[in-house]
Chains A and B, each alone.
Chain A
Amino acid sequence: MNIFSTTSSGGSASEEERRAVAKAVNRSRLVIFLRIGLAVVTLATWELAVIYGLIDPFFFSRPSDIYTQLAVWLTEGTAQGPLWRELLVTMEETVIGFFIGSLLGIFCGIALGRNKLAGDVFSIYIKIANAIPRVVLGSIFIIIFGLGMGSKVALAVVMVFFVVFGNAFQGVREADRNLIANAYILGASKRQVTFSVVIPSALTWILASLHVSFGFALVGAVVGEFLGSRHGIGLLIATAQGTFNAAGVFAAMIVLAVVALAAEYLLTALEDRLLKWRPVQFVEHGM
């Protein structure tokens, strides 16, 4: 989003504008500095607490051990094979599950949201499905689809579907009645209203749900691997757990965090592109 866009048309950058830009740059530098500082302090405290015997590294590991574990995985590979291959397996399950789950969710959410009766009938079951812990289905999927990729993808799909579905459904229901009426008067058919009014207004909701649901897809894939698999980061964690290797668990967590962060970044970029019509939120001053 362009926060530096000026309302005054034409003219070169004035002193005032330049000062505003400098202020924004300074602020973002401060934020980055504080972020790094916080990470350093946290890790140092952890390491020192282990050195002075305040925490038992057998249970809680220590940053240097985690670093060593990561280095070993990167250079020599894991017990199951090279780290990148394990990661690739997990990523594949996550991404496929994420896409299938969100596409199905968006489609069903919009279709049901546009049909009042069907929406009223189904909404209660959606609430129920959202409330029960769906990871439990992982066990069933392993029975059905076996130890391969299918069971993990299925679990990821189920994790993602209901979140996206719920948001798409809600987004369609919240679409402004006035805008819909205006579109009909301007000559739109029901189909045109769906595509040019309902979907754009539901998009804010849908994109918001995609942020959460990528994390859910990752949980689905990892838990699936955890329950039974031959490859993947989830298996890596299960193995580390079996050998009481706390550093291994933490290292795997860091790998997953990096993946989740990258996905978050991509989704935010997508959101900014699709929602560039949205006004910039008011900023609360004096913070």
Chain B
Amino acid sequence: MPTPVIELINVSCKFVSPEGKITQALREMSLCVNEGDFCAIVGPTGCGKSTTLGMITSLSPPSTGLVKVFGKPVAGIDPNIGFVFQTDAVFPWKNVIDNVAIGPIYRGKNAAEAKKMAADWVRRVGLAGFEHHYPHQLSGGMRKRVALAQTFINEPKILLMDEPFAALDVQTRALMQGELLSLWSELKASVIFVTHDIEEAIALADRVVVLSKGPGTVKSSYDIPLARPRDVSEARYSEQFIHLSKQIWHDLKNEVQI
């Protein structure tokens, strides 16, 4: 059995405010993602989805338990990880092309080469013609696409995405989902994809993990046997899809009810 790319073993995460108040975000959570797996996480708001991703990047270490990436306990930011943040995180003082080129520049590429790569990525996320716009001149969805290009250009082996398509309109979202799947098969990346949208989760993932309401833990996990390559917009009409969607919805509903 190959070592999993990402492994969370009994992790709990507590936030202690300066006044001494404790918020438990995760309790005894275990999760395992194999190489090349596309894993979607759904769960009620505030159940600790963003926190889970934060632990994998080492930005917010767990209180107890162990997080392993590539079989080793995380220590510092792994250069193979790409992270699309839930909130806007593009640099407002850089225009689109400079925003996208920044990753390779940080990693030591010279500016001209980085810009050439960036121009290609800007085109691939459908922002050709907006290279010299500043983020405040773009719509929310366009900014999100800048963030995607910014992440993809580094060709991460692990891709963590926190509700990346939530701000997009239905058509663009379908387009980006298709693009994500083709990129994923091209990069052979392992993906953890957080979303609120059950259908999106099923359409994209090999496995959907449902978290219980906060403090979150894994409630159930579904393997998605839909064939690859998938047509995201067609897949959702199949019998299997509807059945899975009903099951997951049922699980989630029990969590959201008080």
Contact = CB atoms under 8 A, between A and B. Distances in A.
Interface of A: 176, 178-179, 181-189, 192, 196-197, 200-201, 203, 275-279
Interface string B60-97: 00000000000000000101011101011111111100
Given A277-B134, A278-B136, A279-B136, A179 B91 contact: yes
Given A181-B59, A185-B82, A186-B102, A200 B91 contact: yes
Contacts of B137: 279
30 contacts: A178-B87, A178-B88, A179-B89, A181-B57, A181-B59, A181-B85, A182-B85, A183-B91, A183-B102, A184-B59, A184-B77, A185-B59, A185-B81, A185-B82, A186-B102, A186-B103, A186-B106, A186-B151, A186-B154, A187-B79, A187-B106, A187-B154, A197-B91, A200-B93, A201-B93, A277-B95, A277-B135, A277-B136, A278-B92, A279-B137
In the A-B complex, list the 10 residue pairs whose CB atoms are closest, starting with the nearest: A279-B136, A182-B89, A187-B106, A186-B103, A277-B93, A187-B107, A188-B106, A277-B134, A200-B93, A185-B83
B217 interface: no
A195 to B, nearest CB: 11
A182 B148 CA distance: 12
B195 interface: no
B198 to A, nearest CB: 27
Contacts of A201: 93
A178 B107 CA distance: 20
A226 B109 CA distance: 56
Contacts of A278: 92, 136
B212 interface: no
B102 A196 contact: yes
Given A188-B106, A196-B102, A178 B85 contact: yes
B150 interface: yes
B129 to A, nearest CB: 8
Interface of B: 57, 59, 77, 79, 81-83, 85, 87-95, 102-103, 106-107, 134-137, 150-151, 154
Nearest to A176: B89
Contacts of A197: 91
B136 A186 contact: no
B81 to A, nearest CB: 7
A200 B83 CA distance: 22
Contacts of B106: 183, 186-189, 192, 196
Contacts of A182: 83, 85, 89-90
A265 B245 CA distance: 63
Nearest to B137: A279
Contacts of A192: 106
Most chain B CB within a 10 A radius of its CB, from A182, A188, A196: A182
Given A181-B85, A182-B85, 7 more contacts: A184-B77, A186-B154, A187-B103, A200-B91, A201-B93, A279-B136, A279-B137
Among B57, B93, B94, find the residue whose CB has the most chain A CB atoms closer than 10 A: B93
Contacts of A188: 106
Contact of B94 (A185, A187, A203, A277): A277
A176 B92 CA distance: 11
Contacts of B83: 182, 185
Contacts of B59: 181, 184-185
Given A187-B106, A192-B106, A181 B136 contact: no
A197 B89 CA distance: 11
A201 B94 CA distance: 11
Contacts of B81: 185
Contacts of A279: 136-137
Contacts of A276: 134
Contact of B150 (A176, A184, A186, A277): A186
A4 B95 CA distance: 20
B99 to A, nearest CB: 10
Contact of B89 (A181, A196, A277): A181
Contacts of A181: 57, 59, 85, 89
A186 B91 CA distance: 12
A196 B91 CA distance: 9
Nearest to B134: A277
Nearest to B83: A185
A181 B91 CA distance: 12
A184 B60 CA distance: 13
Of listed B88, B92, B154, residue having the most chain A CB within 10 A: B92
Contacts of B88: 178
A277 B103 contact: no
